[in-house]
Structure 1
Amino acid sequence: MATSSQSTVGKVIAIDFYCSSCQKQGQWAEFYCKKCLKFYCVKCIIKHGKKFVKHVPYGIAEKDKWPVPRNELQDLHEDKHIEKFCYIR
């Protein structure tokens, strides 16, 4: 299961994900595979690409296709709707 980190500055929320495959915590994900529903760092995406040739992972440039952990965003301000969302790392 991928874990995420979020920070808030005013009403801007930035969310980063950790690699789902790495055993060590703290390795940021740079890819997301929609078929596997997992996040991968550079080292792990190479292994993933060899095993799952037909999967097309999304890189950081396509972060708009990555999932948003809705439960974490809703818990942040339960009484308000999200006004801005930012993918800056």
Structure 2
Amino acid sequence: MTKKIMTVLFAALAAAAVIAAESQTDVALDTDNNGTLSKEEAKAIPGLIEQWATLDLNSDGQLDAAEFASFVAVETKAPAN
């Protein structure tokens, strides 16, 4: 698979992990199992830190599932031809 496809797949899996974090204690990206991603946790996702200021709508230093979903939506959008 190409690097772009792998990045998109990883982002989609990460979104699922964040959304499921509240009911699971073993989510890989949400290492503290609080249902959100911190900047430290976000370092595992290429491109996420660079968009942090735009995505963290409530400026609480965490990305909740809805905020992270915005990142995933942009990253998984099909390229225009």
For normalisation by structure 2, the TM-score amounts to 0.27
For normalisation by structure 1, the TM-score amounts to 0.26
Computing the radius of gyration from Cα coordinates, the structure with the larger value is 1
More helix by share: 2
More strand by share: 1
